[in-house]
Structure 1
Amino acid sequence: MPFQPRVAILVPTPDYYEKWQPAFARKAAALSAAGLIVEQRVWTDPGDLSGHDLILPLFAWGYQRDVAAWYALLDRLETEALPVVNPVPVLRWNSDKAYLAELAAKGVAVVPTVEVAALDDAGLADARMALGADEVVIKPAISGGADGTHRVAAGDSVPADAIGQRRLVQPMMPGILTDGEYSLFFFGGHFSHAIVKRPASGDFRVQEQFGGREEPWEATPAARNLAAAALAAAPAPPVYARVDMVGDAAGELRIMELELIEPSLFLHHAADRGAAFGHAVYAAI
């Protein structure tokens, strides 16, 4: 009988509000088809993981709401030298969007970003001036699912939940409203597929829970080159990756974020329905 590696996928706590099971089923099916045995472990209390050939934090959704527990888990995985994909240094680097400044320093086109240690109205005014933008988006540096993300119109004050908090300030990118946000997917360093996500009317958030919708997209050479340049800046080559980008006022693509921890992979839009994903994970063992 051929060897079947055991893979532990980290999943949300039972009270997590987003529906993750359909996406889990798609990923698990792709991994099973590649010859892997898939098991679930709740990321906040995964128990003994030493018997697994690989650990995947693919559904560690909600880690941004308990950052201390998340970093403690990463420390544990590293201390116990457990096999993790993506590698722990990549997960730690990708947890905090301060990496956008690193990408920019390496010449990668990113959404212009100003970090403010303790946001107040004066800090917001300074950020607006530095960005040359009146309408901005404010988000936590450690965030997910658009938690704590606000669109702030010209003249508006700091949202209540952001006062005194560390926040990233970015110009409101017009492309998100006119064309949507593009996501490109890479497995084992190879491009797989791409989608475009569009927000519901009157919103700027593209996530499904806010009414966002997605459809397949034919990624342009410029988009694929930009994504590859961004991924090359990671501490190690990611086994799986989603690269989100959006057009600026001039129509030029800019990196919104890299999703290297627990991204929705939209495998139902991949021509191979996730076969490349399964093979890339298997090859990492």
Structure 2
Amino acid sequence: MKIGFLTCPGTMPGSPTRRDDAFEHDYQVDAIRPALEACGGSLVEIEWRAPLDAFAGCELVLVGTPWDYWDFEQAFLDKLDALEGAGIIVCNPHALVRWNSRKTYLRDLAECGAATIPTLWVEQPAAADIGAAFDMFDCETVVAKRQVGAGAEGQSIHRKGGVRGDWAMAYPAMIQPYLPQIASEGEYSFLFIDGAFSHALVKRPAAGDYRVQSLYGGTEEAIQPEAADLAAAQAVVDAIPFDTPLYARIDMVRGEDGTLLLMEAELIEPYLYPLQGPELGPRLAEAITKRIDKP
């Protein structure tokens, strides 16, 4: 049972251009590889741009850590399609990844009842759109994010009265009110394997920042979620309009009324926080084995 694990130059071991947060890739592989080996399998890291020949013998490919796909979206999606066309199981599948790659998927989940953060969708964002967002949300601070992106790359925060008139973004954007609960309470992540809850954590930004990723000094703490919070995250997983994903990370933040709001349903290449969920490896290995053995 040979399993591929997609990487990019920023995460591939031995790469001269490894990212500062590539240790997360290492933690994840170190959790999955021995669990697969215990099931008689093996895990091989493969850069996602590698030719199809590099995937020979792989029964299943995990999307893994291709943490540059958003700058090469179509080529990346084409590669997943080609892998599936070669008879390889891709997790998560190409159709789900395509849907999840543009954050407009949040509108679909909102229509299914998920509580989401109010959002202004803009194809060619400029300073006037930031001003419109202040009025729309009646707030003092907004955050602009790429519609296709991850890890807060290209993200910016804007305070009322401080937006330069020549500000613009080179990509389609989503603009949202900044929720101070991210700093005061933290952002919650709920991890699911094959639709079943695995573990949860709260992520907090460094002092003076609003981004929770380790690349910006963010920290994580494992938690036992409250029943209502877990139910809110499970409802998002259940609302995904595709077959149950092999893995899902549901990122949420507390709203002013105390309920959790969906920030992201991370279904492509999320970091799965194995240090906060020591059973992640065995759970994934079991779920992978079931998918390969499924008639």
Residues 89 and 158 (structure 1), Cα distance of their counterparts in 2 relative to 1, 3 Å cut: farther
| 1:92 paired residue number | 98
Moved more, 130-139 or 25-34: 25-34
Residues 188 and 273 (structure 1), Cα distance of their counterparts in 2 relative to 1, 3 Å cut: closer
Q: 2:177 aligns with which of 124, 147, 171?
A: 171
| 1:181 paired residue number | 187
1:7 aligns with 2:3: yes
Residues 9 and 91 (structure 1), Cα distance of their counterparts in 2 relative to 1, 3 Å cut: same
The residue type equivalent to 1:74 in the other structure is L
TM-score by length of 2: 0.88
| 2:145 paired residue number | 139
| 1:153 paired residue number | 159
| 1:42 paired residue number | 47
SS of residue paired to 2:201: strand
CA distance in 1, matches of 2:173, 2:164: 10
1:67 aligns with 2:73: yes
| 1:111 paired residue number | 117
Moved more, 88-97 or 266-275: 266-275
The residue type equivalent to 2:288 in the other structure is V
SS of residue paired to 1:242: strand
| 1:29 paired residue number | 34
CA distance in 1, matches of 2:165, 2:268: 28
SS of residue paired to 2:289: helix
On the 8 A contact 2:198/2:280 being kept in 1, the answer is no
SS of residue paired to 1:251: coil
On the 8 A contact 1:181/1:244 being kept in 2, the answer is yes
Moved more, 192-201 or 78-87: 78-87
Moved more, 175-184 or 30-39: 30-39
TM-score by length of 1: 0.91
1:214 aligns with 2:216: no
What percentage of aligned pairs have identical amino acids? 35
Deviation at 1:187, TM superposition (A): 0.7
On the 8 A contact 2:195/2:244 being kept in 1, the answer is yes
1:262 aligns with 2:269: yes
Which residues of 2 match residues 113-128 of structure 1 at below 5 A? 113-128=119-134
Residues 237 and 39 (structure 1), Cα distance of their counterparts in 2 relative to 1, 3 Å cut: same
* Runs of at least 5 residues in structure 1 that lack an aligned partner in the other structure: none
On the 8 A contact 1:182/1:195 being kept in 2, the answer is yes
Q: Count matched residues.
A: 281
Deviation at 1:164, TM superposition (A): 5.4
| 1:203 paired residue number | 209
SS of residue paired to 1:241: strand
CA distance in 2, matches of 1:158, 1:119: 13
* Runs of at least 5 residues in structure 2 that lack an aligned partner in the other structure: 10-14
Measured on the aligned residues, the alpha-carbon RMSD in Å equals 1.9
